[in-house]
Amino acid sequence: MPIALLNGRVLREQALVTGQCVLLEGGRILDIVPQDHPSSRGATAVDLRGNLLLPGFIDSQVNGGGGVLFNDSPSVEAIRRIGRAHRRFGTTGFMPTLISADLDVVARAIAAARGAIETGVPGVLGIHIEGPFLNVERKGVHDPAKLRELDTSAVGLLTSLGIGRTLVTLAPEMTKPEIIEKLARAGIIVSAGHTNATYAEVVAALHHGLTGFTHLFNAMSQLTGRKPGVVGAALESLDSWCGIIVDGQHISPVVLRLALRCKPSSRFMLVTDAMPTVGTDARSFKLQGRDVSVSGNVCIDEDGRLAGSNIDMASCVRNAVSLLGVSLPEAVRMASLYPAEFLGLSHELGRIEPGYRANLVLADEKLNVLETWIDGQKPA
Eight-class DSSP state of 335? H
Catalytic machinery residues: 273
95 neighbors 61 (Cβ within 8 angstroms): yes
- DSSP, residue by residue, 93-155: EEEEEEES--HHHHHHHHHHHHHHHHTT-TTB-EEEEE-SS--GGG-TTS-GGG-----GGGH
- DSSP, residue by residue, 24-84: EETTEEEEEEETT-GGGTTSEEEE-TT-EEEEPEEEEEE-EETTEETTT--SHHHHHHHHH
Distance between CA 151 and CA 179 in Å, rounded? Answer: 7
Query: Directed axis angle between helix 199-207 and helix 229-236, to 10°?
Result: 40
345 neighbors 92 (Cβ within 8 angstroms): no
Q: Count other Cβ atoms within 10 Å, centred on residue 365.
A: 10
Residues comprising the chain, all counted: 380
Q: Count other Cβ atoms within 10 Å, centred on residue 262.
A: 16
Distance between CA 190 and CA 166 in Å, rounded? Answer: 9
Q: Are strands 369-373 and 360-363 parallel, antiparallel or unpaired?
A: antiparallel
CA distances (Å), origin 2, targets 8, 38, 377: 17, 13, 12
CA 256 to centroid of chain Cα atoms: 18
